[in-house]
Amino acid sequence: MFRNQYDTDVTTWSPAGRLFQVEYAMEAVKQGSAAVGLRSKTHAVLAAVNKAASDLASHQRKLFRADQHVGVAIAGLTADGRVLSRFLRNECINHSFVYESPLPVARLVVQLADKAQVCTQRSWKRPYGVGLLVAGLDETGAHLYYNCPSGNYFEYQAFAIGSRSQAAKTFLERRFEAYDGYSREELIKDALFAIKETLQGEKLTSQLCTVAIVGEGEAFHIIDQQTIQDYIDAMELSTGGPEEEAAAEAPPSAEAQGGGEGASSEPAPMDI
């Protein structure tokens, strides 16, 4: 893990053609608490684990609204995430002001990715240490994107980032193919299941997670705690849950959909 020789500067290449500072920034994302996103044709759901620094502290905000039709979940350096959320909000407002219509999600993520790329090519800057799951609805339907500190972005049917996200990704890989036709309730349930996977045994309560949804006829908003607790209680009642049904399903396709972000070794993550 310690590639000390070429990692002082973000503008220094390694002989293997890697920018270690950028890769280190992506490690920061893996240290943050988990966040998952899923989408159907008409809705997109974001869920995040609320981790507090200590029992005395309140938890960090991980879900931000950028506009009526777009929101983000962050993992990593939350301060960087806050600054980028402000940037996203500004871009959405500017676009609405000039064009009197909502900014298409694909364009928003490109602008965000370009902003991240700048920090990988200036010696006096550092990459943003936060990964963003951008969920939004526009004329072409619901979308979910993942923006890396490297300046790369990918569209996903479902994805998870942050610590212990591999467990959530495994769960999502088994089920993502059916998501296009899912109703909003089924999406929320699966998001909660995915979050449960990252908790590795800890009991899931609505205090521990935050869920937000955006979709047709529904502006981006965070779902209140009571409704989430009701979903969780309903999940507990149905014995075993979807894990047992999933075992009977076809083996997962290990494509970019659902789990492109591999281990920290070859190839360099940003080259995918």
Give me the residue label for tokens 């995918």: 272
Any idea of the CA torsion for 159, 161, 164, 168, to the nearest 10 degrees?
-10
Residue 20 near residue 3 (C-beta atoms within 8 A): yes
Q: Which is closer to other proteins, CB of 40 or CB of 210?
A: 210
Smallest separation, CB 138 to other proteins (Å)? 18
Q: Which is closer to other proteins, CB of 52 or CB of 93?
A: 93
Q: In a 3-state reduction of DSSP, which class is residue 200? A: coil
How many of the chain's residues bind other proteins (CB under 8 A)?
7
Q: Which is closer to other proteins, CB of 172 or CB of 212?
A: 212
Classify residue 219 as exposed, middle or buried by CB count within 10 Å of its CB (0-12, 13-18, 19+).
middle
CA distance 226 to 167: 26
Footprint (CB under 8 A) of other proteins, residues 143-202: none
Q: Which is closer to other proteins, CB of 91 or CB of 186?
A: 91
Q: Is the peptide bond before 267 cis (omega within 30 degrees of 0)?
A: yes
Smallest separation, CB 230 to other proteins (Å)? 24
Q: Which is closer to other proteins, CB of 29 or CB of 137?
A: 137
Q: Which is closer to other proteins, CB of 34 or CB of 137?
A: 137
Nearest to 196 by CA among 153, 135, 249, 240: 240
The one-letter amino acid at 151:
G
Footprint (CB under 8 A) of other proteins, residues 74-113: 86, 89-90, 93, 96-97
**Residue 2 near other proteins by CB under 8 A:** no
Smallest separation, CB 89 to other proteins (Å)? 5
Q: Which is closer to other proteins, CB of 2 or CB of 97?
A: 97
Smallest separation, CB 183 to other proteins (Å)? 29
Smallest separation, CB 147 to other proteins (Å)? 19
Residues 6+ apart with CB under 8 A from 27: 264
Give 56's Cβ-side CA count (13 Å radius). 0
Smallest separation, CB 98 to other proteins (Å)? 10
CA distance 269 to 272: 6
Q: Which of 18, 30, 39, 65: binder of other proteins (CB under 8 A)?
A: 65
Residues that bind other proteins (CB under 8 A): 65, 86, 89-90, 93, 96-97
